[in-house]
Structure 1
Amino acid sequence: MTGLMIGMFMAILASTIVANALPRIVADLEGSQSIYTWIVTSELLAMTATVPLWGKLADIYSRKLLIQLSLGLFVVGSLIAGLTPNVEVLIVSRIVQGLGAGGLTALATIVMAAMIPPRELGRYAGLFGAVFGVGTIAGPLIGGIMVDTSWLGWRWCFLIGVPFTLASIVLLQRTLHLKVVRKEVTIDYLGAALIVSGVSTLLVWSTLAGNTFPWASGWTALLVSVGVVLLALAVWVESRAADPIIPLTIFRNRTVTLTTLASALVGLAMFGGTVFLSQYFQISLGKTPTQAGLMSLPMILGLLVSSTIAGQMITKFGRWKVYLVSGGAVMVAGMVLLSTIDARTSVALVSVYMLVLGTGVGLLMQNLVVAAQNDVPAKDLGATTSTLTFFRSLGGAIGVSALGAVLANSVTSQMTDRFGPMPGGGGGTSEVPDISTLPEPVRAVVADIYGTATAELFLIGAPIALLAFIAVLFIKEKPLKTESGDERLAQEMSGH
C-alpha cells in the first residue's frame, strides 16, 4: 500500500506542482502565453486519454508489470522535464509523464480492488482519497516554495518526484504479489485509437477556445465535430468489438452509470473551481505564491478528514450511501458559499468555505469508486475502475479549460468596462497581471475584477455540483461484498 500510495501521490503531484511555477518556467524558457497552457494540458491530455487503455491492459496482463512500467515512464518523463533545454522538449516530457501518471491513477485502484474486499475497501479508499486530495492541493504549495527558494528553482518541481518514484518501484517489486490470471483476450486497438483521438480533440478545443480563437468560430465547429464524430465511431466500434476497451455493457448497470456521471461532475466542479483559487489569492488578496499555497490547506484538511473518517465508518458499519448523499449536499453548499467571495472577503471566511467544499469532495470522490466496484462482476473491475477515473479526469480537464475561458472572458469584459478598450484589440488581457507593479488605484480595481470573476466560477460550479448530488440520490445501496476482487474472479471463472 505504501508503494502504491507514493506512486499515486507523485503522479497527482506532477499535474499540479507546476501551477505556481509556470510563470517562472515560461519566462526562463522564453515561451509564450499559449505554451503556458500546453505545459499543463499536455500532461492532463496524455493522462486522461490513456486511462481506459491501462484499465483494459490490467484485465489482461500482469498488473504488477504494468504498474512498474507506468512508474518507469513517469521517472523518464520527470528526468527529461527537469533537465529540459527548451519548451518543446518540456512539452514532450510532460506527455511521457502523463502516460505514466495515467497508468498509475488507473492501476493503483485496480490493484487495490484485486487485493481487498469492498467491505474493507472503504478504509483504504479513504486513505487513497486523502492522498489524491493532498496531491492535488499540495502541488501548487510545493511548487511555489521551490520557485521562491533561490537554491532550488523550478527544475526541482520535476526532479523531486524521481527519488520517490524509484522508491515506489523498489517497494512494489519486493512486496506486491498478485496472481497473474492469463485471459485469452484481444485488445481493440481501433477502439482505443478512436477514444484517445476523440477525447484529445475535444480537450485541445476546450483548451484553445477563448484564447487562440473565439468560442464561436470555424475552428470550434471543426474541432467539436471531429471530436464528436470520432467518439461516436468509438462507441460504434466498441459495441461490436469482442473485447472492448470500455465494455458498454457495464453502463447497463445503474450504479456504474450514475457513479460515472457523478464522478465526471465532481471532477468538473472540483478541478474547475479550485485551480483558479490560487490566482484569486495572489491577485485579489495580494499573497505570494507560497502564501497562496498555504491558503489551500483548509481544503486539504476537509478532504483528508472527511475521506479518512468516512472510509473507516464504511468498513465498520458497511453502509455507504449516507456518505455519498451528505458529501453531495456539502459540496453544493461549499460551491454556493464560495460564489459570494470578492476582493474584500476575509481570509478566515474563505478558509471556512474551502473547508466545507473539501469536506464534501472527500466524502464523495473515492466512495463513488467503492460503490461501483462493489456492484460489477470481478472480470469488469479493471474496466469499471478506469472508466470512473477517466470520466473524473475528463470532467476535471474540461472544467479547467472551460471555466478558465469563462474567467478570461469575464476579466476582459470587466477590464474594458473599467479602463476602456485595451491597446492591441484586447488581445493583451489574457496575460495575468503582476499586481506588485500596478499603481494603487489600478491595483484595487484589478483585485476587485479578479475577485468577482472567481466568484462567478463557483456560481457556475454550484448547479454542476447539484447535478452530481441528484445523480447520487438515485444510486441504490447494496451490501458490500466481503471477498477481494481476485477471490471473486476465481469464483466466477470456476462457474460458482
Structure 2
Amino acid sequence: MQLKSSGSRDTSAGPEPSQKQAPAAAGQPGASQVSAATGSELAWAITGILVVFFAAMLSMNIVITALPVIVSELGGTQIQYSWVLTGLLLANASSTLVWGKLADMYSKKLLFQLANIIFFLSSLAAGFAPNMDFLIAARVVQGVGMGGLISLSMAIIASVVSPRQRGKYSGYIGAVLAVATAAGPLIGGLTVDTLGWRWCFWVGIPLCLLALVVVHTKLTVPQLGAPGRIDIPGLLLLVIGCSALLIWLSFAGTPEFFAWVSWPSALLFTGAALIITVFVLVERRVANPIVQLGMLRDRTTVLAATSSAAIAPALFSCMLFLAQYFQIGRGFSPTEAGLMLLPMVLGNMLGALVTGRLITRYGYWKAYIVAGSLVMSASMFTLAFILGPQTPVWLIISALAVTGLGFGAQMQNLMLVVQNTVPVTRVGQASSLIAFCRILGGAAGTAILGSVMAVAVGTASVTSANGINPVYAEATGSLFLIAACITLIAVVCNLLIKEVPLRTSV
C-alpha cells in the first residue's frame, strides 16, 4: 500500500531541506537551519500544541467520576463500565507507534491536525451517545486521536527545537500532564453535578478548536523524512498483539472476569506473546518497518524506555488509589479527596519546570533524573509505611509533594534523553516508543495493583457506622509498597544511563 505525499508538505515554511540535506538534521553541521522558527510564533505554536495535549490527557481522566452516572442512565453492564476506559486505553496504546512512524514520513503538522479532528469528532459523538455500545465505539476512536496527539506533540517540539533548548518545553509538557492527570476526576465530578455527564466529553472541544486555529496559522514544521510504503502486516500484528496484552492486563485477576491463573488468562497471554514475536520477526525483514528495531540496540533508549515503564505504575496508580483511600478509607468527600492530591500535582509541576530550565541552561541531565528517581522511590516507600486510618493529613500531603517532585524531574526528561539519541528523521518513532512504554507500564501496574486491592478488601466484613471502611486505608499502604518496589527499577536504569551532552542543533 503506497501512500502519496502530495499536499503533505508545509508550503508556508518556505524552502524545505532536500532529501540530501536530511542527514544534516541528525545533529551534523547545517542542522540548525531546521529550527528557523523562533520568538513569538514558536511560543504561540507550542501553546496550541500544549492546549490540545491538555484536552487529550484530561479526557482520559475526567470520565472516572462520571462513569457510575453514565452507566446508570444508559443502562450499561459491569463489562461495559470497564470497556469505556479499556477501549480508550487499547486504541491509544495500539495507535501510538503507528502515528510515530507516520510522523517520520509525512507532515507532522498535517498529521497533528488530523489527530485533533479525529479527537474532536469522537468527543462530540461520545457526548451524544444514546447507549453504551455507541459510547464505547466513540471512546475507541477517541483513543486513536489521543494516541496521535500525545506522540505528535512531542515529535513536533523535537522537530523545531534543539535538544539543548527542548528541556524547558519538556518541563511545560510535564506540568500539563500533571495538571490534567489530577484535575480530570475533580473536573469530572463538578461537571456531572452541574452541567451533566455529557459535558465531560464536550469540555475539551473548545480547546481543540482553539488549537486547530493556532497550530494552522503559527506552526511551521519541516518535513525531513521520505514518504514510503506503510507496513500493513506489521501494523495489524502490532494492534492485535497490544490489544490482547492489554486486555489480559486489564481483566486478569478480577472477580468479574477471570483469575490470573486460568485458561482464559493463559490463552490471552500466550496469544499476545506469539503475535508480538511474529511482529518482531516481520519488522526485521521489511524495508520500512513500523518500529525501527535498531533503536532498541541503543543502551540509552532501552534504559530510558524501561525506566519510563517502571515510573508509570506509581504515577497513574497513585492518583487512582489515593482518591479511594481518602474517600472510602478516611471519609473525605470527592472534592476534598481531589484537593488532597494537589500537593503532588504542584510538586510534579515544579520538578518538571525547574529541571527543564536547568537542563536548557547547562545541557546536562543525568543528575536530575537520578535524583528524581531516588526522591520518588524514597517518598513512595515512606507513603507505604505511613498510610493508615489515623495518619495525619499533613504528613501524607507532605510526602505526596515530595513524590511529585521526583516524578516531575524524570517523566519528560527521559523522553528528551531518547530524542537526543536519534536523528530528527526518526524522532517521531522515538517519542512514540517512550509514550507507548508509559501507557503499557501504567496499564500493567494499575491492573496488578487493582487485583491486589480487590483481594485485600474482598474479605472486609465490617464497615463503620459513618460509612468509612478502614480496611481500604490499610490496604492502600500495601499497594504503595508494591509500587515503591517497582520504582527501584527506574533508579537502577537511570544510574546506568550514560550521560551524553544535548545537541544544540535539531
**TM-score normalised by L of structure 1:** 0.90
Counterpart of 1:457, as a letter, is: L
What is the aligned partner in structure 2 of residue 206 from structure 1? 249
| Counterpart contact for 2:350–2:405, Cα < 8 Å | yes
2:450 to 388, 404, 408: 404
Distance of 1:26 and 1:287 partners within structure 2: 24
1:186 aligns with 2:229: yes
**TM-score normalised by L of structure 2:** 0.88
- What's the secondary structure of 2:409's corresponding residue? helix
- What's the secondary structure of 1:240's corresponding residue? coil
What is the aligned partner in structure 1 of residue 486 from structure 2? 464
- What's the secondary structure of 1:382's corresponding residue? helix
What is the aligned partner in structure 1 of residue 332 from structure 2? 287
1:54 to 99, 106, 112: 99
What is the aligned partner in structure 1 of residue 290 from structure 2? 245
What is the aligned partner in structure 2 of residue 455 from structure 1? 477
What is the aligned partner in structure 1 of residue 198 from structure 2? 155
> What is the CA deviation profile of residues 319-374 of structure 1, one whole-angstrom value per residue up to 9, with x for unaligned ones?
11010000100110121122120122222222112111111110010000111111
Alignment: residue pair count:
458
1:257 Cα deviation after fit: 0.7
Counterpart of 1:6, as a letter, is: V
Counterpart of 1:390, as a letter, is: F
Counterpart of 1:227, as a letter, is: A
Counterpart of 2:465, as a letter, is: E
1:184 Cα deviation after fit: 4.0
1:95 to 140, 143, 152: 140
User: What pairs with 1:362-441 in structure 2 (closer than 5 Å)?
Assistant: 362-412=408-458, 414-415=459-460, 418=461, 440=465
1:322 to 359, 367, 377: 367
Q: In the superposition, relative to structure 1, how do residues 456 and 180 fare at CA in structure 2: closer, same or farther (>3 Å)?
A: same
1:74 Cα deviation after fit: 0.6
Counterpart of 1:56, as a letter, is: K
- What's the secondary structure of 2:291's corresponding residue? coil
Distance of 2:475 and 2:196 partners within structure 1: 31
Counterpart of 1:392, as a letter, is: R
Counterpart of 2:251, as a letter, is: L
What is the aligned partner in structure 2 of residue 119 from structure 1? 164
1:6 to 47, 51, 68: 51
Distance of 1:265 and 1:369 partners within structure 2: 14
> What is the CA deviation profile of residues 110-135 of structure 1, one whole-angstrom value per residue up to 9, with x for unaligned ones?
00000000000001100111111111
Distance of 1:134 and 1:50 partners within structure 2: 24
Superposed CA RMSD: 1.3
Distance of 2:322 and 2:229 partners within structure 1: 45
What is the aligned partner in structure 2 of residue 493 from structure 1? none
| Counterpart contact for 2:453–2:479, Cα < 8 Å | yes
Distance of 1:208 and 1:456 partners within structure 2: 21
Counterpart of 1:468, as a letter, is: A
| Counterpart contact for 1:49–1:199, Cα < 8 Å | yes
Counterpart of 1:122, as a letter, is: G
What is the aligned partner in structure 2 of residue 431 from structure 1? none
Counterpart of 1:474, as a letter, is: L
Counterpart of 2:264, as a letter, is: W
What is the aligned partner in structure 2 of residue 222 from structure 1? 267
Once the two structures are overlaid, the 10-residue window that deviates more, 37-46 or 97-106, is: 37-46
Distance of 2:353 and 2:494 partners within structure 1: 20
| Counterpart contact for 1:342–1:455, Cα < 8 Å | yes
Counterpart of 2:325, as a letter, is: Y
1:175 Cα deviation after fit: 0.7
Unaligned runs of 5+ in 2: 1-45
Distance of 2:197 and 2:405 partners within structure 1: 31
What is the aligned partner in structure 2 of residue 38 from structure 1? 83
Distance of 2:251 and 2:113 partners within structure 1: 34
1:235 to 266, 274, 280: 280
Counterpart of 2:236, as a letter, is: A
| Counterpart contact for 1:59–1:379, Cα < 8 Å | yes
1:45 Cα deviation after fit: 1.1
What is the aligned partner in structure 1 of residue 239 from structure 2? 196
Counterpart of 1:174, as a letter, is: T
> What is the CA deviation profile of residues 236-267 of structure 1, one whole-angstrom value per residue up to 9, with x for unaligned ones?
11111111111110111111111011111111
Distance of 1:60 and 1:114 partners within structure 2: 13
Unaligned runs of 5+ in 1: 420-437, 485-496
User: What pairs with 1:161-172 in structure 2 (closer than 5 Å)?
Assistant: 161-172=204-215
> What is the CA deviation profile of residues 355-403 of structure 1, one whole-angstrom value per residue up to 9, with x for unaligned ones?
1111111001000011111122222211111101111111111112221
- What's the secondary structure of 1:339's corresponding residue? helix
> What is the CA deviation profile of residues 3-51 of structure 1, one whole-angstrom value per residue up to 9, with x for unaligned ones?
1001100110010111222222222222222222211111111111110
User: What pairs with 1:71-150 in structure 2 (closer than 5 Å)?
Assistant: 71-149=116-194
Q: In the superposition, relative to structure 1, how do residues 108 and 461 fare at CA in structure 2: closer, same or farther (>3 Å)?
A: same
1:143 Cα deviation after fit: 0.8
Distance of 1:9 and 1:119 partners within structure 2: 24
| Counterpart contact for 1:26–1:32, Cα < 8 Å | yes
Q: Identity of paired residues, percent?
A: 43
1:343 aligns with 2:368: no
What is the aligned partner in structure 1 of residue 112 from structure 2? 67
Distance of 1:58 and 1:216 partners within structure 2: 40
What is the aligned partner in structure 1 of residue 24 from structure 2? none
- What's the secondary structure of 1:481's corresponding residue? coil
Q: In the superposition, relative to structure 1, how do residues 347 and 34 fare at CA in structure 2: closer, same or farther (>3 Å)?
A: farther
- What's the secondary structure of 1:91's corresponding residue? helix
Distance of 1:48 and 1:238 partners within structure 2: 18
Distance of 1:390 and 1:12 partners within structure 2: 14
Counterpart of 1:440, as a letter, is: A
Once the two structures are overlaid, the 10-residue window that deviates more, 264-273 or 250-259, is: 264-273
Distance of 2:476 and 2:75 partners within structure 1: 28
| Counterpart contact for 1:148–1:290, Cα < 8 Å | no
1:439 Cα deviation after fit: 5.8
